[in-house]
Amino acid sequence: MTMLNRPLGLSRAGIGYLLILPSLCLIGVFFLVPLCMTVWMSLHDWPLFGTSTLVGLKNYAELLHDESFWRSLLFTTKYTLIVTPALFLASFVLALLVRRPGRWSAFFRTAYFLPVVIGLSTASLLWVWLFNDQVGLFSALLMQLHVVDEPVQWFDTGTTSLLSVVWMVTWKMTGFNMVLMLVGMQAIPKDLYEAANIDGVSPWQQLRYITVPLMRQTFALALTISVIGSYLAFDQFYIMTHGGPNNGTVSIVYWIYRAAFTYTRVGYASAMSVVLLLILLLMSTLQLYLLRSDDR
């Protein structure tokens, strides 16, 4: 290799490092440095206002006995277990419906994807008003249709509040997962379906024995993204339920937020963030391991 195709006289490895330098900078500044700072803060009694003091692992020890932390973790798990299958099934079915190029498929693909481009906070606010008992669309519609006599209280109990949020998130995020599924489906060689058709394999059998097995990696990716996103849920609960009623819908990130900004305990909130990160790392690793492809 001559000096001409070796910029600045760097070795091959040096060029490689140079090329990944921008990404390294971004990861360093926006992930590694904040992560190190979070760990450092978690070892302190760090108020939102005022000076901090080093307390070692005290925040972590307190966390073990913090009922609110474990309750919110349990609630977030419950939310994840409901919203993930809902998203997964809805997006898979939609992807199956729009996967073949046709007159209307582009229109429907766009229509299903449209909610994804709205910010989660905006979507949450929109749905707060749709659910509003005084001026909301849903209650008015049900009353017009004589399904109910008086406005529906969508956020009356913990369960109805949770399901209302799940409904909104499914509407908001299905389009994104649908695109992932579509990419996975389009990556399956067409020859397989052609051969199956010649052999007289039914569409249901094609789905079961060709589509689903060959989309394992796509499923793994969609599930990982969905589970991580669900465990990090904040906006939808902050805006739609405010954690209520009676603390019934406080997600783990919402509890971290409250610890930091309502109770002004930034150090303690940092400790919870570190633990959540470890939990997510563990879960993602496990998920990817279980859904790993055999053709390595």
Instruction: With contacts defined by CB under 8 A, name the span among 59-67, 110-118, 146-154, 181-189 that binds other proteins.
Output: 146-154
The secondary element (H helix, E strand) that includes residue 27 is helix 12-27
Contact status: 134 vs other proteins (CB under 8 A): yes
Contact status: 35 vs other proteins (CB under 8 A): no
Candidates 34, 110, 156, 213; binder of other proteins (CB under 8 A) is 156
CA angle, 172 as apex, 170 and 173 as ends, to 5°? 70
Candidates 62, 126, 142, 151; binder of other proteins (CB under 8 A) is 151
CB-based contacts of 266: which residues, under 8 Å, 6+ apart? 41, 46, 47, 48, 260
Q: Residue 153 or residue 197: which is nearer to other proteins going by CB?
A: 153
Q: Hey, which residues between 231 and 270 contact other proteins (CB under 8 A)? A: 242-247, 250, 258, 261-266
Q: What SS3 state is found at 55?
A: coil
* Nearest CA among 221, 130, 231, 200 for reference residue 171: 130
CB of 141 to other proteins, least distance (A): 16
Other CB atoms within a 10 A radius of the CB of residue 279 amount to: 15
Q: Residue 33 or residue 97: which is nearer to other proteins going by CB?
A: 33
Candidates 10, 19, 35, 48; binder of other proteins (CB under 8 A) is 48
Contact status: 89 vs other proteins (CB under 8 A): no
Nearest-angstrom CA–CA distance, 19 and 293 = 30
Contact status: 24 vs other proteins (CB under 8 A): yes
Nearest-angstrom CA–CA distance, 203 and 259 = 53
138, 206 contact by CB (below 8 A): no
What residue ranges bind other proteins (CB under 8 A)? 17, 21, 24-25, 28-29, 33, 45, 47-50, 128-129, 132-135, 150-151, 153, 155-156, 242-247, 250, 258, 261-266
